[in-house]
């Protein structure tokens, strides 16, 4: 059983939903990323997503794209991120998963990437550009190593394909709430509730919903059907203001946002 499996098993036994925040590794620097992760876990995050900057965005909106660019401009390397993560994860009580392009994994070597990530205390990988037709080998490696492979289902994924994605995924399934890219939105499509409900009847995997979630009303709408909710751009946007506002002010704002969203999960 992976750390992600264990986390969701505990949450389900308690009738609770997971809160999964996303941060970009190294924005504006690795030291501050560690501080943000500690703050998020202290505020109740159950699983933290750590974005590995990549030069060719897959489904990332302008906020996350900009954060990746800031890190890449610093010539930050994967080895630097994993070394820092090894220190963070020893102090965090919630598991960390990497959001990473399959190009990076492939370049490292599938088994090598899993070994390095596990050595850094990372519990799994969200791989948004891994086609289900090409996921067999990596899925087998991840299952063997108890390393969660989290794949994405979108509102336009055909039902039969969605079920194939469930079969090769472990840990949880990432359900994209909207068609398009990541980013803060004023409204989410109401049909996502029915789409997730249909999928929950056909898989035992926890289903976590992401893209566009930034307000308590989004959380109240989706929490009844989801096993967890993912928030990224709303947090990354605040991190982008560190130079202007200072670290302590930004950490406080992030904490307030998390409190508002997690409170809505139980209201």
Catalytic choice (5, 27, 60, 227) = 60
CA dist., res. 209 & res. 19, Å (int): 10
- Is residue 49 annotated as part of the catalytic site, yes or no? yes
Q: Three-state SS for 109?
A: coil
15 three-class SS: coil
Beta bridge partners of 98: 50, 125
Give the residue carrying structure tokens 């990332």: 60
Q: What does the buried/exposed string (b/e) look like for 127-153 if buried means 16 or more CB atoms within 10 Å of the residue's CB?
A: bbbbebeebeebbebbeebbbbbbbbb
Edge-to-edge strands, sheet with 48-51? 148-150, 122-126, 96-99, 48-51, 18-24, 228-231, 207-210, 173-176, 152-153
In the set 5, 27, 31, 49, the catalytic residue is 49
Specify whether 145 is catalytic.
no
Residues marked active site are found at 49, 60
């Amino acid at each position: 059983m992976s750390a992600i499996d264990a986390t969701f098993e505990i949450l389900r036994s308690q009738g609770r939903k997971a809160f999964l925040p996303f941060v970009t590794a190294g924005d504006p620097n690795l030291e501050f990323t560690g501080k943000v992760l500690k703050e998020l876990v202290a505020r109740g995050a159950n699983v933290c997503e750590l974005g590995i900057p990549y030069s060719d965005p897959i489904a990332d909106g302008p906020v996350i794209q900009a954060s990746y660019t800031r890190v890449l401009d610093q010539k930050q390397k994967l080895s630097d991120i994993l070394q820092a993560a090894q220190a963070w994860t020893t102090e965090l009580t919630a598991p960390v998963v990497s959001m990473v392009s399959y190009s990076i994994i492939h370049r490292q070597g599938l088994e090598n990437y899993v070994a390095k990530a596990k050595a850094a205390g990372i519990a799994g990988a969200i791989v948004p550009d891994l086609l289900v037709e090409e996921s067999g080998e990596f899925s087998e490696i991840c299952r063997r190593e108890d390393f969660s492979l989290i794949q994405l289902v979108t509102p336009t994924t055909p039902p039969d394909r969605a079920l194939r994605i469930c079969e090769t995924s472990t840990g949880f399934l990432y359900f994209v709430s909207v068609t398009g890219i990541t980013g803060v939105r004023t409204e989410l499509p109401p049909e996502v509730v029915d789409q997730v409900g249909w999928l929950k009847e056909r898989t035992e995997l926890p289903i976590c919903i992401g893209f566009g979630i930034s307000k308590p009303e989004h959380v109240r709408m989706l929490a009844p059907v989801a096993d967890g909710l993912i928030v990224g751009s709303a947090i990354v946007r605040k991190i982008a203001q560190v130079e202007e506002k200072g670290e302590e002010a930004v950490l406080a704002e992030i904490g307030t946002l998390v409190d508002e969203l997690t409170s809505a999960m139980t209201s």
